[in-house]
Amino acid sequence: MNPVLTGYRRPNGLVGVRNHVLVVPVRAPANAAVRQIADGEPACVAVTHEVTGHELADTGRIRRTIVGFVTNPNVASVLFVGIDASDVWAAEAAAAAGQAVEFVTLAAHRGTAGAVEAGRRVVASMIETAQSHRREPIGWEDLILGLECGGSDGLSGITANPAVGVASDLLVAAGGTAILGETPELIGAEDALALRAVSPDVARRVLEFVGAFETAIRDLGIDVRGAQPTPGNQAGGLTTIEEKALGSAKKGGRAPVVDVLEFATRPSVRGLNLMDTPGHDIEQMVGMVAGGAQVVVFTTGRGTPTGSPIAPCIKIASNSALSARMGSDIDMNAGAILEGTESIESMGARIFERLGAVASGETTASERGGNREFAISRIVYP
């Protein structure tokens, strides 16, 4: 473990482990301007999306995601690019949450070219300010860790996931917070998680949010109990949804479940939180980061290189063959557990140590590889 954990203390009291300047469109038609503003400036991250502003059924979820993402403490400041003055809501919401925000519109600058010119001046000032920020000692209690798996195989629930569970328990024991999501991949494990709830109310909500998802699927004429998982999971050796769920839930270790969160919502209680997220890797990670996760641990048995625009993602292989085959995308190899050179406990301790190093500035494979995937989860699609 690092003797001193470091990060960036923000004026609103939150703590970041990265120091990004973001450029974000309020609506998708501003994507081109956002890309041009950030182009050629490595200290600036462009985050584009496909939200048009007409998704009335999902407005609350979409807005919560966008605002939560840009107010993650890994972000030093954000420039929102709007089409016209009606898009100011995003800047106002982020500012109300304590974020340093600027706002330009295409309408106020006679179109894309003018907005790009104005935006570049704003970003240059933001970068100068961000570069004046310095790391300082922080505590484990300041960290929120996202727990994710993608492209699971038959070994994920035997090696990588339980080892991450050990690391999660160590973080919680040190006063930190972990978020376990992927609602579709908790079907079959909800009873075991409810038994770990800190109160009857939390236990009830665990069963409710997983049950609500299963009911919605059943209403479509699909019974997922005992069904096959995704083709990739099947190719990796998984046979049923329940088998995958019980392995996936191991990322949450053995800590008590302290709360159940809506998608893209920040935990209010330290400890192990469950978040109602989709199973889609990118959308799920965006939700956890929008909920304040500064670092994500991502296990994979099939080789998923997904990363985040603003949060370092520690990628852990479930088997040594994958680690050798996709080494540039992998940070740690839990296949060593099968080979007898590591135990689940020792691997978990190593993951916890790496978490401290990454939080304190060590880069991950996804950061070095430029994996900055971003997608907003929606309930209703066109």
The mean pLDDT value of the chain amounts to 92
The yes-or-no verdict on residue 351 having pLDDT over 70 is yes
The yes-or-no verdict on residue 220 having pLDDT over 80 is no
pLDDT class for 216, splitting at 50, 70, 90? confident
Q: Over range 362-369, report the average pLDDT.
A: 97
The yes-or-no verdict on residue 230 having pLDDT over 80 is no
Q: List pLDDT tens digits, range 264-311.
A: 999 999 999 999 999 889 999 999 999 999 999 999 998 889 999 999
The yes-or-no verdict on residue 222 having pLDDT over 70 is no
What confidence score (pLDDT) does residue 54 get?
78
The yes-or-no verdict on residue 2 having pLDDT over 60 is no
User: How far apart are alpha carbons 368 and 372 in whole angstroms?
Assistant: 10
Indicate yes or no: pTM above 0.85: yes
pLDDT class for 154, splitting at 50, 70, 90? confident
- Using CA atoms, how far residue 123 sits from 44, 48, 89, 379, in Å, is 8, 16, 20, 33
Task: Report whether 12 contacts 98 (CB < 8 A).
Answer: yes
Residue 252 in tokens: 């949450």
Q: Over range 213-217, report the average pLDDT.
A: 79
Q: The domain 20-130 is classified under which CATH number: 2.120.10.80, 3.40.50.920, 3.10.150.10, 3.90.105.10?
A: 3.40.50.920
Determine the 3-state secondary structure of 73 from DSSP.
Answer: coil
The yes-or-no verdict on residue 13 having pLDDT over 50 is yes
Q: List pLDDT tens digits, range 155-173.
A: 999 999 999 999 999 999 9
The yes-or-no verdict on residue 233 having pLDDT over 60 is no
Q: Which long-range contacts (CB under 8 A, 24 or more apart) does 93-98 make?
A: 93/63, 93/67, 94/67, 94/70, 97/12, 97/67, 97/71, 98/10, 98/11, 98/12, 98/13, 98/14, 98/71
